[in-house]
Amino acid sequence: MQITKTPLEGLLVIEPKVWKDNRGYFYESYSAKLYAEAGIDVAFVQDNQSFSQKGALRGLHAQNRPFEQGKLVRVLQGSVLDVAVDIRKDSATYGQHFTIELSGENHKQLWVPPGFLHGFLTLEDQTIFTYKVSNYYDKNSEIGVMWNDPELNIEWTKYMPGSAFLLSDKDQELDSFKEFKSPF
């Protein structure tokens, strides 16, 4: 397993060791011991999974304290542009984002600790996205920012030029980053 730090402190890219042969491949997608040694010493309480068509955009979301979540995200099938935005007010990288392509082919994972907004854009039909979370979902604790906020300047269309994204009603009504009051 290879752990790579990102420019945003605490946000980590994980690349598991994959063994391939004529039958296919094998890898450990999670080992509490190895992840703890890498600094991700978290008790995960829930696994979530979504299935999406190409162009589905989910985010940018987080949960307020005391229901904040750390997320270990990966793609089982298809691919996504995965995005994390630092919303830790005392962070030197507050308001900055990190993007990475996660896919069923590259097997990469992203550790998104509490204090980040998270979202993703599916780049292929029939994409299966899965993640472990460190706290239970609480509807009343949902927070978020508009996916296309000009202050964040996330280049979603760079990955799917000319596309109309599929968004939930909720994701179309989130606050701008300027209006957003971070609890972190």
pLDDT digit string, tens, across residues 56-85: 999 999 999 999 999 999 999 999 999 999
Q: What is the pLDDT of residue 70?
A: 98
| Segments of the chain assigned E as strands | 2-5, 12-15, 19-21, 24-26, 46-52, 57-63, 71-77, 79-86, 97-103, 109-112, 116-122, 127-133, 142-144
Catalytic position from the list 35, 107, 118, 131 = 131
- Give the residue extent of every domain in the chain: 44-172
Summarize the confidence of residues 162-181 as an average pLDDT.
93
- Distance between CA 27 and CA 57 in Å, rounded? 28
Report, at the CATH architecture level, how domain 44-172 is classified.
Sandwich (2.60)
User: Quick count: other Cβ atoms within 10 Å of Cβ 45?
Assistant: 12
- Distance between CA 179 and CA 49 in Å, rounded? 30
61 is catalytic: yes
Q: Identify the band that residue 161 occupies on the pLDDT scale cut at 50, 70 and 90.
A: confident
Residue 163, pLDDT > 90, answer: no
107 is catalytic: no
Structure tokens at 73: 């995200």
Q: What is the pLDDT of residue 31?
A: 94
Strands 24-26 and 116-122: unpaired
Q: What is the pLDDT of residue 162?
A: 77
- Distance between CA 93 and CA 162 in Å, rounded? 30
Report the side by side order of strands in the sheet with 109-112: 2-5, 12-15, 109-112, 71-77, 127-133, 46-52
Name the amino acid, one letter, at 162.
G
pLDDT in tens, 94-130: 999 999 999 999 999 999 999 999 999 999 999 999 9
Residue 160, pLDDT > 90, answer: no
pTM, full prediction = 0.96
Nearest to 32 by CA among 114, 102, 134, 171: 134
C-alpha separations of 105 from 20, 101, 161, 173 in Å = 12, 10, 22, 33
Catalytic position from the list 35, 61, 97, 107 = 61
Summarize the confidence of residues 9-28 as an average pLDDT.
96
Check if the beta carbon of residue 3 is closer than 8 Å to that of residue 108: no
